Structure 1
Amino acid sequence: MTKVTKRNVVNGMLFVSPWVIGFIALTMVPFVLSLYYSFTTYDVVAAPDWTGIQNYVQLMKDPIFWTSIYNTLFYTVFSVPLSIVIGVALALLLNLKIRGMAFYRTIFYLPSIVPLVASSILWLWLFDPQFGLINSMLEAIGIRGPGWLVDPAWSKPALIVMGLWGIGGAMIIYLAGLQDIPQEMYESAELDGAVWWHKIVYITLPMLTPVIFFNLIMGLIGSFQYFTQAYIVTSGGPNDSTLFYSLYLYNNAFSYFHMGYASAMAWILFLLIMAATLIVFKSSARWVFYGGDK
């Protein structure tokens, strides 16, 4: 190895060292320690006490743990498919060649850059059962609005609606995918007599499946870790109807100081996300179409 090569290697290591140190100190070490703490009783104040799999056994008997899993799965099952359908539909509309389209794209994208805390407080006012704008509009057309965030039956649907409001980020990705589809395919379909819905079903959606696949994976990961809006708007209520898994994990760690218990929950969450992601990856060979596939 020449002196120049050695100097380049040393310089490269020096440049990358802040990231390596940060990754080891802030990611890898907490990752490994959380696994150890998951087998202990640890309250931050006293030293951790090794208890084996006791935390995991206790979790299986914890009714609130299962409630949090149900709430999280409910949110995931409804919010992820709805976000894909609405995101693709909006992208199709915003891909039309009409005047002022840049303005419309900006309007639909803006909600996704609003801070979550600010948007959550806004929706808290909109969903107010007595003075909120949504129920006032429903009352104007003779419909009595539900209790929304104060009603256990409507609290999770209300949070799903909140999530759909900020769909602009995913919509932009779908829009980029639409613009990457070769126009020659549409022209050939038109020559064969295809109408608009034929082109959507047999050209647009198959060619868009890699983008849908990406957003599906990101949506699953995000929905399993759903926390901020529920923490700000409902704090898990009413009657634990919005006590999502990440919120219950947070409460155990930073409200009750059951760090060992929370670490066990974190590892179960990690395994659940890995399992869901692997299932989607395994199924992708059947429905994801790439341009180079034959």
Structure 2
Amino acid sequence: MGEQSPLPVSVDETLALLSSGDYVGERSLATVLFLALKLGRPLFLEGEAGVGKTEIAKVLADTLGRRLVRLQCYEGLDVSAAVYEWNYPRQMVEIRVAEAAGAGDRASLTNDIFDERFLIERPLLQALRPDDRGAPVLLIDELDRTDEPFEAFLLEVLSDYQITIPELGSIAAASPPIVIVTSNRTREIHDALKRRCLYHWIDYPSAERELEILTVKAPGAPAKLSREIVSFVQALRKEDLFKLPGIAETLDWAEALTQLDKVALDPQAIDDTLGVLLKYQDDIAKIQGSEAARLLSDVKSELTGVAIA
């Protein structure tokens, strides 16, 4: 991570910031990101898995020289895993030492053991702490995997950038973190949380933008192979599949085919590597063989007549 950089002062600077981190973003994304940074508001990013939501937080942290604090959400996530918990073994040792020393003031002992020395900080609390590099980038990733009670807890964090610990009181951020919240939309997030954020939907990229992403992220792939990969993936996204491939899968596929020394797509190469692109057996079975050959034939015919780039 480099030195701390100032926040962008325009949409164009925000686009340039993303570009400097090898993120190929659209102007609409740069606009809402600029506003989130300018207004100090959390940015809520929604979209299918693998379209580049998480990457935005990583790029921001890298290009701005900030620390990245990531909270990976999951079902059953609670305060002890997301915010803080007390170091009970150390507290018990402190109690035993105090008893051995003859300390009899129970109230004083209680204050001693509920001191920040015994506090184990989890991502949300870490993100509120001062940092020499500036306020960190807080990534709350895949919020849709948690439940509604945890969402309700986040309201205080996203509204006031503070956390209340009963034994210590409220801990507020001296400088609010840059907050990126992502969701794959496996369930709807409550309106109360969305109101506290600026919102942007990240869709699958156009063919032109996906080819640009491939050029930036997988420069080792031959130009012809890259064009065919993008056209094939774009065609796949029009099929009735359980899970459509995202940009992440496109990049993985390009890397895999490059490692196999492919300079162009052929039916055998597609069948052999579909597990890189598709992650469900029913989808692979549906595309493998004759359907893959048909899609590839359509792709090559299209590219013969009209180039993507």
What TM-score range do you get, normalising by the shorter chain? under 0.3
With normalisation by structure 1, the TM-score equals 0.23
Which structure: greater strand fraction? 2
Higher helix fraction (1 or 2): 1
TM-score in terms of structure 2 length: 0.23
Which one scores higher on RCO, CA 8 angstroms, separation ≥ 6? 1
